[in-house]
Amino acid sequence: MVVAQDEIGRVYTDSADNRVSAEAVLWGALQAQRNDFRRDQQFGRYRVDFYSEAAHLAVQIDRGERRGDETVRSRDLRLEALGIRVVHIPCTEVLKDVNSVIESLSPPSR
């Protein structure tokens, strides 16, 4: 069963590694639509899936298994203390509609 197809035609199926597939789909879309994100950005002992220095935005793809995890909360608090907004996106949302996910990453209106 095909769950998603990225910008260059790679097909991803529903599997145990949805998170990896969702990361690949989102990365392909970010490269095609925005040029301000880096993948696998390290902040001290913490790593985020995607980071935009220009937007001060960290993006994590979640399968839900670590939601509420103390390490995740510690990382998020540390990044927020550095002025970085942290957004958690369920992998199912990325696979369902990556363009809506990209739109949701726009800076908040001031």
63 Cβ contact partners less than 8 Å away, ≥ 6 residues apart:
18, 19, 90, 91
Domain boundaries, the chain: 2-104
2-104 belongs to which homologous superfamily?
VSR Endonuclease (3.40.960.10)
pTM of the model: 0.77
Q: Give the count of beta carbons closer than 10 Å to the beta carbon of residue 99.
A: 9
109 Cβ contact partners less than 8 Å away, ≥ 6 residues apart:
none
pLDDT digits (tens, 9 = 90+) for 41-70: 999 889 999 999 999 999 999 876 655 678
Cα of 24 vs its chain's centroid, Å: 10
Of residues 72 and 63, more confidently modeled: 72
Q: Name the strands in the sheet holding 85-90, side by side, starting at the edge strand that comes first in the sequence.
A: 37-43, 46-52, 57-62, 85-90
The residue behind tokens 């095909």 is: 2
